């Protein structure tokens, strides 16, 4: 019996066994290596709302939107295995988030870097950190407008493990 099921000549899904049943990937035979993943996403605002947020340096009645989103992103990365059913719980070594105002797009770009020395990667942790940080910014600013868009959340780069990846 195979550890994964091949759905065509090119793609193999690691979370399905040879019977097509959902399974958690068995990493017991893998070697622990240092793995890192970077992800990004953005929160776009109507231009007048963006100007208001930037002029206030991200401070709202609820507090600093980026400081709160930073904490939320870290907490989310640490709890990814509780949110994504087949993710392994990982002892994360480092989680970093950054926030950049983009005047041209009236947006805040959120970036996350997650690092671990383990038998499996941290792509989902980086993506979860960005997603929850973006949602936190939305939550903290929705009183100003509901015309806020979260988009372009994606993996930028991963290193370690079987192969490296970089978004073109």
Catalytic residue, candidates 139, 147, 151, 164: 139
DSSP codes of every residue in 109-131: EEEEEEEEEESS--HHHHHHHHH
Residue with tokens 């206030």: 56
pLDDT in tens, 93-152: 999 999 999 999 999 999 999 999 999 999 999 999 999 999 999 999 999 999 999 999
Is residue 2's pLDDT more than 50? no
Is residue 71's pLDDT more than 80? yes
Query: Is residue 26 among the annotated active site residues?
Result: no
Residue 60 and residue 140 in contact, taking contact as beta carbons nearer than 8 Å: yes
To the question of whether residue 86 is assigned a binding role by annotation, the answer is: yes
Query: What structural domains does the chain harbor?
Result: 1-27 (no CATH), 31-161 (3.30.70.640)
Measure the CA angle with vertex 107, ends 104 and 111; round to 5°: 115
How many whole angstroms separate alpha carbon 122 and alpha carbon 107?
26
125: nearest Cα among 79, 69, 57: 79
Output the pLDDT for position 10: 57
To the question of whether residue 87 is assigned a binding role by annotation, the answer is: yes
To the question of whether residue 134 is assigned a binding role by annotation, the answer is: no
pTM tops 0.75, yes or no = yes
């Amino acid at each position: 019996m195979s550890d994964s099921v091949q759905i065509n000549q090119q793609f193999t899904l690691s979370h399905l066994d040879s019977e097509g049943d959902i399974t958690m990937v068995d990493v017991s035979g893998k070697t622990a290596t240092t793995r890192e993943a970077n992800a990004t996403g953005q929160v776009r605002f109507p231009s007048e709302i963006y100007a208001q947020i930037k002029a206030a340096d991200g401070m709202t009645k609820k507090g600093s939107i980026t400081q709160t989103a930073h904490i939320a992103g870290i907490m989310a990365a640490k709890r990814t295995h509780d949110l994504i059913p087949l993710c392994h719980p990982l002892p994360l070594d480092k989680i970093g988030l950054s926030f950049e105002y983009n005047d041209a797009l009236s947006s805040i770009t959120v970036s996350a870097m997650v690092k671990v020395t383990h038998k499996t990667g941290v792509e989902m942790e980086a993506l979860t950190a960005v997603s929850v940080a973006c949602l936190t910014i939305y939550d903290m600013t929705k009183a100003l407008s509901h015309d806020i868009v979260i988009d372009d959340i994606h993996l930028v780069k991963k290193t370690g493990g079987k192969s490296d990846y970089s978004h073109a």
